[in-house]
Amino acid sequence: MDCLFCSIVAGDVPSRKVYEDDVAYAFLDIAPWHKGHTLVIPKRHVDDLTGDAEVMQEIAPAVSRVARLLVDRLDADGINMLSSAGPVAGQEVFHLHVHLVPRYGEHPGLGELFRKQVEEDPDQVLAQILG
């Protein structure tokens, strides 16, 4: 498979799975901006949010469930949701993905969002999320 995220869904590339249902798959980002930074993707390949009028509606329940899980389990003070479409917007993997980034009081605002600040062991973070 040429698509990294399709390979993750297929189980050919390992990931730290946070959530899965019939249409969506969520896993910890490998270069997190904040503790618990998670990607939610559709299981079917769609390049970006402009590629299919139905796809955001399909994965919306998973995005909501994962956002609530991250806030509840990681004691986050808020959450940012972001999806980029196209190289000029910063998209690097061309399979639709929604970033869910838990936010904490000590790092407020969007200016701090795009700096990797996580030093926690991702396996420990995953264990905390999954309970």
- Give the catalytic positions in this structure: 97
Dist CA 5 CA 40 (whole Å): 10
Helix axis angle for 122-130 and 55-74, nearest 10°, is: 100
Which pair of tokens denotes residue 30?
């490998």
- The closest alpha carbon to 20, from 39, 1, 2, belongs to 39
Looking at residue 12, its amino acid is: D
